């Protein structure tokens, strides 16, 4: 009897185990998932309220950007928002003036760029807006529609190369583009055959009217190594490249260099013809003599173009810092001297001789710095940060401090922030360099005499670094960033330039972890932004961060229990 009972018990146990194994796994969501979902929805609700205060065109773009962010998680809502956005640009007012039309078409182009990767069916409605009544639109509108379609093709190419090519072909039917290089680079990475086919179509179109803008862009796409873009980028086959060189020759034949056009033509010769001289000799040797004649004429007429032309034509181009500095010293034209000096500094920087690069920049005359404009400032602080990092890696801490403190006072905040942003502490490092320069950068930025419109984005950059290295200071840094943003907006309003602040690149500087530290402070701070458009842009970036956190909350599987 006991044996029978024991056997029954074993069988029952096996049955229970079999049932348990057959039951589906129950997905238990990370508790953080629901929290980040609620936060994302709250920000979305605030954005929908912001939308009611915007103009119809700006409201349409906001709805589309909401759809872009939510499409993975709530496709139904995304579809509704996209449809509402397109409804706005489809409606043509009875008395639409030229400016209203320009704004509506501009909105349709931007919507197409956003919507194409999300909803092909609805993007066709936008294509209809941009391609109908072609004869009635102005040349400027047609050119902008061509660029808009190509931008949409770029946005779509990674996801659907074939459909992206169809968009780009529609652009070609509207008119001649100015820039095709970005699309061709991205397309070639995805599908070489499609890239070669599209390039052949562009070359055929360019043959009708080889403009310098299009030839320049085609040169980037076809000869990236010669343009300094990259030696390892895939290139088209030689027959297509030879066809482009033939177009260059056709351009030179159609535009003989004279007093009226020498500036434009010689600029083109220096930019996209002279660097390819060896390729002309290799691929179209019969026409190379025409190219050499144009180069020779431009050398005597355009001092600025002469450098590029000399390098391309010479068997011994200037490729050392010493040779470039000697050429700068010999130059009689101030602009020519500036370009030689900058090339020398850039070469020194590429060789990681940062101290020499900075010495060359500092040695430039006032006129040279003015000719370079804001570029001189940007290189000065960026290269100083690189130099300081190199000194840090080699354990030269006094030199590290010296090179950063030698940066002009108005630029020190940028140099120190760039240092901290790239900083990777060495093992057992006790120097606290990141904390030191982060604190100094915040102080320097407050003292800087730069206009607020050039400072506010740096406050947000410092905010991200503060969250990482000094989280206890994050709330104060956030309030400081918002205050700077409002001051910049007020300055723009006084100058009659409302809503021109660019906050669309602040996603990386608005970490979602801010909400974890003090959600109320963040929400209150964003709500205090005076401009509704700027406020909406900030909320969009914060929404992107919270949605990413929501998605990263992984589901945890567990076996269903038997009751």
Looking at residues 2-14, what average pLDDT do you find?
Answer: 45
* 397 CB-side CA count, 13 A: 10
User: What is the reported pTM?
Assistant: 0.81
Tell me the pLDDT tens digit for each residue of 117-127: 999 899 999 99
Give yes or no for residue 368 having a pLDDT over 60.
yes
pLDDT at 490: 87
Copy the structure tokens of residue 150: 């190509």
Quickly list DSSP for 462-499.
HHHHHHHH-GGGHHHHHHHHHHHHHHHHHHHHHTT-TT
- CA-angle at 225, arms to 220 and 231, nearest 5°: 130
Looking at residues 544-554, what average pLDDT do you find?
Answer: 85
State what percent of residues in the chain have pLDDT above 90: 56
Beta-ladder partners of 365: none
pLDDT at 20: 44
Q: Are 363 and 338 in contact (CB under 8 A)?
A: no
Give yes or no for residue 79 having a pLDDT over 70.
yes
pLDDT at 313: 53
Torsion of CA 250, 251, 256, 259, to 10 degrees: 180
Tell me the pLDDT tens digit for each residue of 235-253: 999 999 999 999 999 999 9
pLDDT at 304: 60
pLDDT at 426: 80
Give yes or no for residue 557 having a pLDDT over 60.
no
Give yes or no for residue 21 having a pLDDT over 80.
no
Determine the Cα–Cα distance for residues 1 and 10; give it in Å rounded to an integer.
15
Max Cα distance, the chain (Å) = 118
pLDDT at 405: 94
Name the residue with higher pLDDT: 13 or 365.
Answer: 365
Name the residue with higher pLDDT: 472 or 497.
Answer: 472
- CA-angle at 206, arms to 204 and 209, nearest 5°: 125
Looking at residues 441-460, what average pLDDT do you find?
Answer: 90
Write down the mean pLDDT value for the chain: 86
Looking at residues 470-484, what average pLDDT do you find?
Answer: 91
State what percent of residues in the chain have pLDDT above 70: 87
Tell me the pLDDT tens digit for each residue of 123-139: 999 999 999 877 678 88
Confidence of residue 501 (pLDDT cuts 50, 70, 90): low
Q: Are 279 and 223 in contact (CB under 8 A)?
A: yes
Looking at residues 82-93, what average pLDDT do you find?
Answer: 94
What residues have CB less than 8 Å from 120, skipping those under 6 apart? 160, 163
What residues have CB less than 8 Å from 75, skipping those under 6 apart? none
pLDDT at 17: 45
Name the residue with higher pLDDT: 554 or 392.
Answer: 392
Looking at residues 437-445, what average pLDDT do you find?
Answer: 94
pLDDT at 359: 96
* Stretch among 120-134, 143-157, 190-204, 289-303 having the lowest mean pLDDT: 289-303
Q: Which of 26, 29, 63 is nearest to 551 (CA)?
A: 29
Q: Are 475 and 517 in contact (CB under 8 A)?
A: yes
- The winner for highest mean pLDDT among 198-212, 491-505, 524-538 is 198-212
Q: Are 250 and 207 in contact (CB under 8 A)?
A: yes
Give yes or no for residue 27 having a pLDDT over 80.
no
Q: Which of 307, 360, 358 is nearest to 330 (CA)?
A: 307
Determine the Cα–Cα distance for residues 183 and 190; give it in Å rounded to an integer.
11
Looking at residues 312-332, what average pLDDT do you find?
Answer: 78
Confidence of residue 233 (pLDDT cuts 50, 70, 90): confident
Measured between alpha carbons, how far is residue 219 from residues 95, 178, 184, 244, 543 in Å?
Answer: 44, 12, 11, 8, 40
Looking at residues 316-326, what average pLDDT do you find?
Answer: 82
Phi, psi of 28 (to 5 degrees): -100, 110
């Amino acid at each position: 009897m006991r044996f029978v009972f024991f056997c029954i018990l074993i069988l029952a146990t096996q049955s229970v185990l079999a049932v348990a194994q057959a039951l589906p796994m129950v997905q238990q969501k990370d508790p953080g998932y629901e929290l980040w979902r609620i936060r994302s929805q709250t920000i979305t609700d605030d954005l929908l309220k912001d939308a009611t205060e915007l103009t119809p065109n700006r409201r349409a773009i906001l709805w589309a950007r909401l759809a872009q962010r939510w499409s993975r998680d709530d496709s139904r809502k995304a579809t509704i928002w996209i449809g509402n956005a397109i409804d706005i640009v489809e409606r043509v007012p009875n008395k639409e003036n030229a400016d209203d039309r320009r704004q509506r078409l501009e909105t349709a182009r931007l919507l197409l760029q956003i919507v194409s990767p999300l909803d092909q069916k609805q993007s066709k409605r936008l294509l209809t807006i941009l391609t109908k009544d072609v004869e009635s639109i102005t040349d400027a509108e047609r050119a902008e529609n061509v660029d808009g379609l190509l931008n949409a093709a770029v946005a779509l190419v990674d996801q659907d190369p074939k459909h992206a090519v169809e968009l780009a072909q529609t652009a070609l039917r509207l008119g001649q583009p100015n820039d095709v290089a970005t699309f061709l680079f991205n397309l070639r990475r995805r599908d070489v055959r499609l890239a070669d086919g599209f390039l052949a179509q562009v070359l055929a179109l360019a043959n009708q009217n080889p403009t310098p803008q299009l030839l320049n862009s085609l040169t980037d796409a076809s000869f990236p190594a010669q343009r300094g873009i990259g030696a390892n980028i895939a290139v088209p086959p030689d027959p297509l490249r030879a066809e482009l060189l033939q177009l260059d020759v056709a351009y030179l034949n159609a535009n003989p260099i004279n007093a009226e056009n020498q500036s434009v033509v010689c600029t083109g010769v220096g930019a996209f013809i002279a660097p390819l001289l060896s390729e002309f000799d290799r691929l179209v040797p019969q026409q190379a003599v025409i190219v050499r004649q144009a180069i020779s004429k431009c050398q005597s007429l355009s001092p600025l173009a002469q450098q590029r032309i000399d390098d391309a034509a010479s068997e011994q181009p200037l490729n050392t810092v010493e040779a470039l500095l000697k050429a700068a010293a010999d130059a009689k034209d101030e602009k020519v001297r500036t370009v030689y000096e900058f090339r020398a500094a850039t070469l020194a920087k590429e060789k990681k001789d940062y101290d020499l690069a900075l010495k060359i920049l500092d040695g430039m005359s006032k006129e040279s710095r003015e000719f370079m404009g804001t570029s001189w400032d940007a290189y000065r602080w960026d290269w100083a940060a690189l130099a300081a990092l190199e000194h840090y890696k080699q354990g030269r801490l006094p030199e590290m401090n010296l090179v950063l403190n030698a940066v002009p006072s108005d630029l020190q905040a940028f140099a120190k922030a760039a240092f901290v942003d790239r900083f990777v502490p060495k093992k057992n490092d006790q120097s606290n360099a990141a904390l030191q320069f982060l604190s100094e950068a915040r102080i320097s930025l407050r003292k800087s005499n730069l206009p607020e419109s050039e400072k506010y984005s740096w406050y947000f950059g410092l905010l991200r670094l503060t969250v990482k290295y000094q989280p206890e200071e994050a709330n104060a840094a956030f309030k400081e960033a918002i205050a700077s943003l409002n001051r910049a907006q007020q300055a723009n309003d006084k100058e009659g330039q409302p809503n021109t602040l660019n906050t669309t690149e602040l996603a990386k500087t608005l970490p979602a972890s801010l909400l974890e530290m003090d959600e109320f402070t963040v929400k209150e701070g964003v709500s205090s932004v005076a401009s509704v458009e700027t406020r909406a842009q900030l909320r969009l970036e914060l929404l992107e961060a919270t949605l990413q956190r929501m998605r990263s909350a992984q589901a945890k599987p567990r076996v269903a229990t038997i009751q």
